[in-house]
A and B are shown apart, each in its own frame.
Chain A
Amino acid sequence: MSTADLLGQDPGWIILVKGLLIFVFCVVCTLMAVWGERRIVARMQMRLGPNRVGKFGLLQALADGVKLALKEDLIPAAADKVVFIIAPIISATTCFMAFAVIPFTGTVTLFGHKTAMQLTDLPVSVLYILAIASIGVYGIVLAGWSSGSTYPLLGGLRSSAQVISYEVAMGLSLVAVFIYSGSMSTSEIVAAQHQWWFSVILFPSFVIYVISMVGETNRAPFDLAEAEGELVGGFHTEYSSLKFALFFLAEYVNIVAVSSLATTLFMGGYHALPGLTFTESWLGGWFTLFWFVAKVVSFFFLFVWLRGTLPRLRYDQFMKFGWKVLIPTSLVWILVLATLRVMSQRAVSRPLVIGFSIGVVLLVMLATTLYDRSVDKAKAANVLPDLPAPRFPVPALPGETTTHVIKEIEAEVEMENHNG
């Protein structure tokens, strides 16, 4: 019986319980993520990080949340009041909705009822997640606009432009998964990976997805939308108290959501690591939840690691990277992959497939060589003209010997010798 059929038999109360569990999972994840991020980044910067509230500072995020909730809730006089209130609500609700189609475990028994820890499954689950993400952008844009202030507007436009551009690359990277698994339903995609994870077979897609998921969530090094130094926090500059807390929550739940999607689509979902498949039946199947969470946590660690190590990109570089590198690369990759797929379905002879693959590799090498040459040419054309040297003294360029300085030193040394 497929997962979709299994889920179709769920009675109403099981669905409610699952919804509640997913909500709790997201909120707890957020609390742990905030604490974990601060501790890990602190380690990377040779600090300790929050370690006062609770054991190891575990309750720090909770304390921060309470503090945030008790702060004064300000609405700027120039703000569009209704939209100002709706925006954080849109942001916070949409980020939870993506979890409806994420499979957390395989078949398990929940309160004596056989089901899978997945709220629902659609034939177009992954598209549904993209659709929800595109509604989530409204939260950011409206927050920026309704604040009635310049920096939030700029921040909001920046981040929505960013999210929309990287959604294209993200969608294209998912196409390869659809082609390979023959389905857009999350449970079927996970089932299609029981032998080989798609991160191995579809490695280029995986790389593109990971890059675009960081861009999509507005995280470092792509956090130019809320660049503290330039935009004072971006779209949520004017927000305070609980409304700000909602944006904060949305950001972290979004990180968990894209990590879960990456796990589901590329890392085999709730399946165990290769060689450990026997663990999947432990605890009546519930042990698969451990594998799922472990994979999500490792993606989250990647997010923190990136934040701790990489400097922020400039806006034009970032957009150029998205539109001129990621999107064309994924288009070419999809073309190659689709051709290979058709070849394998038509049972084309092996030499032809190998010949095609070698041809593609050669073409890519030729294209990159030509590109490198044109870059070199542009550099050569950009060399400074041979102007007369300026009349005032300038510091020596590295590697350049200025003889008169050496002569002076020699004279000094000689003088010392003479005196000594």
Chain B
Amino acid sequence: MLHNSFHFALTVGRTATPEAVQFWILAPLAVIAALGILVVKKAVHSALLMAWVMVTLAIFYIAEDALFLGIVQIVVYTGAVMMLFLFILMLVGVDSSESFVENLKGQRIPSVLAAIGLGGLMVSLLGRATISAPAVGLKDANSSGNVQGLAKLLFTQYVWAFEVVSALLITAALGAMVLAHSQKIRSPFAQRDLSIARFRKDSMAEAAGLPAPGVYARHNAVDVPALLPDGSPAPTSVSQTLRSRGDIITSSGFALESIEEQED
């Protein structure tokens, strides 16, 4: 992110006015968003700011006559990669707060130093490549159209690299699928199998499903067994989990004492 703003800041002096206006509006927003990625607390907010940075970068690319790159940046990075990140954040770590315990002892100082070193390296390298070295060849590269020029390069000069990268990506995707795949010992019982199994049993008592819990008109909680016509509780009406946990309330308390009593 940083190196891009840097690059643009250097070239802004010689760009046309609309582009400069666009740059001075979007670049500060992009930088603020980029800093926000580090500062905000929730991971989803970071991901969103990241997406915003990617979109602004794409707009910069488009302004720099790299139309195809800009659009593909949005389709691939914002649309696909960032979306996968969001999926995972939402499903796994929705509210997980960051822990500040150092798992690797004494790694803080070296890592900060390494980060500063890497940043310095990037700034100095890109600076040397861009300061006092005006961009050349954009006109030639885009002479037969931006897309056509890219396509020609990709499918002639760099076709080998292109194919190797695509093979690598496909291998990675297949590898991830193979690692995540678990072989089932048998196929799970579907609704149809369960239904057939119920009717193949010796007793028809459960053919239409187990009785629902609760005593009609008196109590309908899931932990109260239903009463059978003879007044005895039906244990199968309570979920297996609750039964094995012993969380069953006796339903006799909700049963009517006797028919005579009601007739009074």
A and B associate in one complex: yes
Spot the interface stretch: A40-48, A127-135, A244-252: A127-135
Please tell me if the beta carbons of A124 and B71 are within 8 angstroms of each other in the complex.
Answer: yes
Please tell me if the beta carbons of A134 and B80 are within 8 angstroms of each other in the complex.
Answer: yes
Q: A390 is contacted by which of B68, B91, B202 (Cβ under 8 Å)? A: B202
Please tell me if the beta carbons of B75 and A123 are within 8 angstroms of each other in the complex.
Answer: no
Which single residue of chain B is at the shortest CB-CB distance from A138?
B51
Q: Mark A145-166, 1 if CB is under 8 A from B, else 0.
A: 1000000010001001100100
Looking at chain A's contact residues, the main secondary structure is: helix
Closest chain B CB from A323 CB (angstroms): 12
Q: Does chain B have a CB within 8 A of A111?
A: no
Please tell me if the beta carbons of A127 and B72 are within 8 angstroms of each other in the complex.
Answer: yes
A178-210 contacts to B, CB under 8 A, are 184
Closest chain A CB from B176 CB (angstroms): 15
Residues in B whose Cβ lies below 8 Å from that of A144: 90
Looking at chain B's contact residues, the main secondary structure is: helix
Q: Does chain A have a CB within 8 A of B74?
A: yes
Q: Does chain B have a CB within 8 A of A80?
A: yes
Residues in A whose Cβ lies below 8 Å from that of B147: 123-124, 184
Please tell me if the beta carbons of B79 and A131 are within 8 angstroms of each other in the complex.
Answer: yes
B87-137 contacts to A, CB under 8 A, are 87, 90-91, 94
Residues in B whose Cβ lies below 8 Å from that of A257: none
Tally chain A residues at the interface, Cβ within 8 Å.
Answer: 30
Please tell me if the beta carbons of A135 and B78 are within 8 angstroms of each other in the complex.
Answer: yes
Residues in B whose Cβ lies below 8 Å from that of A135: 55, 74, 78-79
Q: Give the distance in Å from the alpha carbon of A80 to the alpha carbon of B78 in the complex.
A: 21
Residues in B whose Cβ lies below 8 Å from that of A128: 71
Residues in B whose Cβ lies below 8 Å from that of A83: 44-45, 48
Q: Does chain B have a CB within 8 A of A141?
A: yes
Residues in A whose Cβ lies below 8 Å from that of B231: none
Residues in B whose Cβ lies below 8 Å from that of A153: 90
Q: Give the distance in Å from the alpha carbon of A123 to the alpha carbon of B70 in the complex.
A: 12
Please tell me if the beta carbons of B90 and A141 are within 8 angstroms of each other in the complex.
Answer: yes
Q: Does chain B have a CB within 8 A of A142?
A: yes
Q: Does chain A have a CB within 8 A of B155?
A: no
Q: B74 is contacted by which of A123, A134, A141 (Cβ under 8 Å)? A: A134
Closest chain B CB from A120 CB (angstroms): 12
B192-225 contacts to A, CB under 8 A, are 196, 199-202, 204
Q: B86 is contacted by which of A134, A141, A384 (Cβ under 8 Å)? A: A141
Closest chain A CB from B144 CB (angstroms): 11
Residues in B whose Cβ lies below 8 Å from that of A391: 202
Residues in A whose Cβ lies below 8 Å from that of B145: 123
Instruction: Please list 13 pairs of residues, one from A and one from B, whose beta carbons are closer than 8 Å in the complex, sorted by A's number.
Output: A80-B42, A123-B67, A128-B71, A131-B71, A131-B74, A131-B78, A134-B80, A135-B79, A145-B86, A153-B90, A157-B87, A157-B90, A390-B201
